[in-house]
């Protein structure tokens, strides 16, 4: 079993690494649109990184939907079946 202090340290390291990665993405990639109104500058880069990842995920979802629509055949209408005479 992991001690409580180790869990806290691991969680803090995870959050710090995630913020550093998002900040790096936000600094490296320029997203079209208005500049985010976030201070300080590092928080702005982290928010920009989140926005870039969100837009990449959105475009990937749209692409996947288009591919699935191309692969799925349209539904084939079934002709109506004549009703049998059930009276004897």
Structure tokens at 11: 């969680």
Residue 86 has pLDDT above 80, yes or no: no
pTM > 0.85: yes or no: no
Q: Average model confidence (pLDDT) for the chain? A: 87
Mean pLDDT of 53-65: 95
Q: What's residue 20's pLDDT?
A: 95
User: Pick the residue with more confidence: 79 or 9?
Assistant: 9
Helix (H) or strand (E) holding 49: helix 41-71
Tens-place pLDDT, residues 28-57: 988 787 877 888 989 999 999 999 999 999
């Amino acid at each position: 079993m992991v001690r409580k202090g180790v869990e806290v340290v691991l969680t803090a390291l995870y959050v710090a690494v995630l913020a550093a990665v998002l900040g790096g993405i936000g600094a490296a990639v320029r997203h079209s649109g208005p500049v985010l109104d976030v201070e300080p500058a590092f928080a702005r880069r982290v928010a920009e990184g989140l926005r870039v990842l969100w837009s990449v995920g959105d475009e990937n979802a749209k692409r996947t939907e288009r591919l699935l629509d191309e692969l799925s055949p349209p539904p084939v209408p079934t002709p109506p079946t004549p009703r049998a005479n059930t009276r004897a």
